[in-house]
Chain A
Amino acid sequence: MFPASRYSSKAHRCIRALQTVQVEHAAPQLYATLNTRRTCSSVSTPRITTHYTVHSRDKDSRWEGVEMERFADEADVVIVGGGPAGLSAAIRLKQLANEHEKELRVCLVEKASQIGAHTLSGACLEPSALTELIPDWKERGAPLNTPVTEDVFSILTEKHRIPVPILPGLPMVNHGNYIVRLGNFVRWLGEQAEELGVELYPGYAAAEVLFHEDGSVKGIATNDVGISKDGSPKDVFERGMELHAKVTLFGEGCHGHLAKQLYKQFNLRENCEPQTYAIGLKEVWAIDEKKWRPGRTEHSVGWPLNRHTYGGSFLYHLNEGEPLVALGFVVGLDYSNPYLSPFREFQRWKHHPFVAATLEGGTRIAYGARALNEGGFQSIPKLTFPGGLLIGCSPGFMNVPKIKGTHTAMKSGMLAAEAVFPKITAESLDSETTGLHAPEYAETLKNSWVWKELHAVRNIRPSFHNYFGLYGGMAYTGVFYWIFRGKEPWTLKHCGLDANQLKPAKDCTPIEYPKPDGKLSFDLLSSVALSGTNHEGDQPPHLTLKDDSVPVSRNLSIYDGPEQRFCPAGVYEYVPLETGEGMRLQINAQNCVHCKTCDIKDPSQNINWVVPEGGGGPAYNGM
């Protein structure tokens, strides 16, 4: 709401830097490679994590006598997350309720302050699921204003470009698709949902899963408010609220924090491969009208990444009045060099002559980042459990070579609604557990086009793990997908957890990144300011560490602190200790853009991202 300190994140950093300068006379540098290994041995680690998920409030004397009872409310269905999956599920439930003339209370909670504010995607939308859900979407004013007119694919080298023909049948053909600003599309979906009577509650984050006595899911509780940075209650402290439901749908998007708990609780990942991810960074530019080609999509692979690092770029020309382009860079999080910085690769890529030609004379108007799923078919977990189910990018239905996950996310939400509806409106509750179990959802999903689509492309991403890297992968795609349509009888495996892929810093070469020029490429902090992200300053950092000493003792000493480089918002910084001996990790939680990359890529798996006070986070507008 109204934080005590009104400084921008940039100013805050300056102030902190000034404080340490007094002792050290050396400004902390974000990308410094430390040649002298400083270890924090005898000095005790300063306390970083104060969140109650790590330090319980039960034994904390500051919480004695504080009223911890929560109000509760009942709904038929509670949906966590107001993205394409969650909203499609909500809309489908209400459609079914109206069809069958039944009353249904559907509540949706969303951590962003408004629906769409945390949505970030390229994006090229395949309208298949939308047409199934809302056939008259055009008449209703869905913001699908830019049909794709041109499709360009390139392999980039440092100065040149090798065009690759997009033959019909290849996964990246975009004919019939629309370039959308997904945030605006999600906002429109929210309006459709509200019209149908769905109760939307943006600004309230689901912080806790609630369980019945028999272990089934009872619902969720929203975040507590008014806890100060050191973990003690403030005057304005108020407990969150409980929302109970017959069944809860979890649509938190890629690497949701409640889903992480549910995987452990119900052992949902025992028969699938670990999920593998990528980070996507995106900017929106207003370019020179002469360079604007509305409907044009460009994708590239190659430079500046080497052939062993999966990733590539996109650049889409929107057609919404202004000459806008949405562009971005994706880097697979299974990269091995801890000196790699996805943000700086992105900034560097923009200087390539082919890209710079479009951007020259333009202005950057938005920035953001988000992790995305790359595991596909092999990484889909068990989707249902007593009292709930997983929808959308949370379990992960993204078609990786197409880089499209919205249509499958929406379809999964719709199928979830269809599976759950008969159960909650049944005359007699036919369930072993108090929370309803709907395994039919997984069945219908397996028989749908989502499954067929993901099955056909399942081997493309893992095919990159060979000596030839990118080129081996492209060759594999050409042969087995384009010719054989993914019907080969084998299923390739991924290489394990992304967090385990980093090599020690001593075995890798630091990467020399060019300085940002302020016209095409920019520094991290001005980019973060453009995302509009902010959080109430006086709250426990929501990037919690299981063990406060691990960052310096392990991440910094073995991997040279990769979190300084993979975080697209400058949250993690290693700064010298005030005493002068050694370093400490500083977490600038206010900068966080909720991308989840740190939780995924931390080599020690020590960082646990939990949801901050609702309403905080980026303020994306049509990203």
Chain B
Amino acid sequence: MSGRVLVGVKRVIDYAVKIRVKPDNSGVVTDGVKHSMNPFCEIAVEEAVKLKEKKFIKEVVAVSCGPQQAQETIRTALAMGADRGIHVEVTGKDYDTLGPLQVSKIFAALAKKEDAQLLILGKQAIDDDCNQTGQMTAALLDWPQGTFASEVSLEGDKIKVVREIDGGLETIKINTPAVLTADLRLNTPRYATLVCLLILKPADLGVDITSRLEVLRVDEPPQRLAGVTVETVDDLVAKLKESGTI
């Protein structure tokens, strides 16, 4: 076990800012608008750093996908206690179409490359509210997932996760390596203080600018053909024979 945890952090428009739609309706105004780390990602980073402080894991690596400014978010994660940062540079048109599926493929590839024991993400991003990346990454890696985590404890090589679900709380035990997504009550994130920022000056940041690992297009699934209603079972059998299914 490498004892390494990957934490995904996303740079989003600050939650207190009033969103404005672009005049040409092509998207929202982001130029010059105040951005910050997604609140659930802050909780994820805090949880990873806490695990390191409790000596359950050895290294916390913060990962962000996006243009140059994503490095600010990584720096904040480093100031909170992460050891290393990886910036996956995605710009322009690719960035506009960057969604959970592409990000989960990037994370899956990174998790394998970095030999990560754990991948902690925020449960969702406050700009798209997708709540998909964690789950998709787990599926791609074929790893167990503990989503909506409000309590995490490591027990040997298993993880006990208390999940917030509609009906209340669900406690599960999963194997490592695993994917966790952080919910609101998991912890209270610490501040990214100037001390931490100054101690980790740009030269020592160790930010890896990996060129895009894979930026994939999501193709629309093939048009679903209209169905045909049949009257009797014999008709159904006849039609199935016709299409070559049986």
Contact = CB atoms under 8 A, between A and B. Distances in A.
A227 to B, nearest CB: 11
Contact of A2 (B18, B34, B43, B194): B43
A524 B188 CA distance: 32
Given A1-B42, A238-B193, A530 B188 contact: no
A187 B36 contact: no
A525 interface: no
A121 interface: no
Contact of A534 (B16, B31, B195): B16
Nearest to B31: A621
B177 interface: no
B8 interface: no
Contact of A222 (B36, B188, B189, B194): B194
A236 B188 contact: yes
Interface string A232-243: 000110101100
Interface in A219-276: 222, 225-226, 235-236, 238, 240-241
Contacts of B31: 621
A2 B32 contact: no
Contact of A621 (B32, B192, B193, B197): B32
A495 to B, nearest CB: 40
B145 to A, nearest CB: 23
Nearest to B199: A71
Nearest to B17: A532
B195 A532 contact: no
B34 A71 contact: no
Interface in B5-38: 14-18, 20, 23, 31-34, 36
A113 B15 CA distance: 13
Contacts of A1: 42, 189, 191-192
A225 B23 CA distance: 39
A183 B33 CA distance: 11
A209 interface: no
A54 interface: no
B239 interface: no
A619 B189 contact: no
Nearest to A613: B191
A533 B189 CA distance: 21
A322 B195 CA distance: 42
B158 interface: no
Contact of B194 (A183, A235, A241): A241
Contacts of A619: 14, 16-17, 33-34
Interface string A313-352: 0000000001000000000000000000000000000000
Interface string A544-564: 000000000000000000000
A201 B197 contact: yes
Interface string B98-110: 0000000000000
A13 B42 CA distance: 27
Interface in A355-389: 365
B42 A114 contact: no
A391 B32 CA distance: 26
A228 to B, nearest CB: 11
Given A241-B198, A529-B18, A532-B16, A225 B33 contact: no
Interface string B162-200: 000000000000000000000000001111111101100
Contacts of A570: none
B192 A532 contact: no
A204 interface: yes
Among B18, B23, B31, B192, find the residue whose CB has the most chain A CB atoms closer than 10 A: B18
Contacts of B23: 286, 322
A4 interface: yes
Contacts of A226: 190-191
Interface string A145-176: 00000000000000000000000000000000
A534 B39 CA distance: 15
Given A2-B42, A286-B23, A619-B34, A533 B193 contact: no
Nearest to B42: A2
A574 B17 CA distance: 28
A594 to B, nearest CB: 14
A2 to B, nearest CB: 5
A146 to B, nearest CB: 17
A222 B17 CA distance: 25
Nearest to B14: A619
Contacts of B14: 113, 532, 534, 619
B201 to A, nearest CB: 9
Interface in A502-555: 529-530, 532-534
A73 interface: yes
A114 B16 contact: no
B195 A241 contact: yes
Contact of B190 (A109, A238, A365): A238
Given A241-B195, A532-B14, A533-B16, A236 B34 contact: no
Contacts of B190: 226, 236, 238
A2 B185 CA distance: 12
Contacts of A235: 188
A116 B17 CA distance: 15
A621 B20 CA distance: 12
Nearest to B22: A322
Nearest to B198: A73
Interface in B82-105: none
Contacts of A2: 39, 42-43, 188-189
Contacts of A116: 32
A532 B193 contact: no
Nearest to A615: B36
Contacts of A241: 193-195, 198
Given A1-B42, A116-B32, A240 B194 contact: yes
A6 B43 CA distance: 15
A117 interface: yes
A565 B43 CA distance: 39
B188 A4 contact: yes
A242 to B, nearest CB: 10
B170 to A, nearest CB: 24
Contacts of B192: 1
B120 to A, nearest CB: 16
B32 A622 contact: yes
A364 to B, nearest CB: 11
B194 A532 contact: no
Contacts of A529: 18
A530 B18 CA distance: 6
A8 B16 CA distance: 8
A606 interface: no
A88 interface: no
A109 B15 CA distance: 24
Contacts of B36: 113
Contacts of A622: 32
Contacts of B16: 8, 532-534, 619
Nearest to A534: B16
Interface string A462-481: 00000000000000000000
A286 B193 CA distance: 38
Contacts of B32: 116, 183-184, 187, 621-622
Interface of B: 14-18, 20, 23, 31-34, 36, 39, 42-43, 188-195, 197-198
9 contacts: A8-B16, A73-B198, A187-B32, A225-B191, A238-B195, A529-B18, A532-B16, A619-B17, A622-B32
7 A-B pairs closest in CB distance: A534-B16, A619-B34, A225-B191, A532-B17, A621-B32, A241-B194, A71-B195
Given A2-B39, A238-B190, A286-B23, 10 more contacts: A2-B188, A2-B189, A73-B198, A114-B34, A187-B32, A236-B190, A241-B193, A241-B194, A241-B198, A619-B16
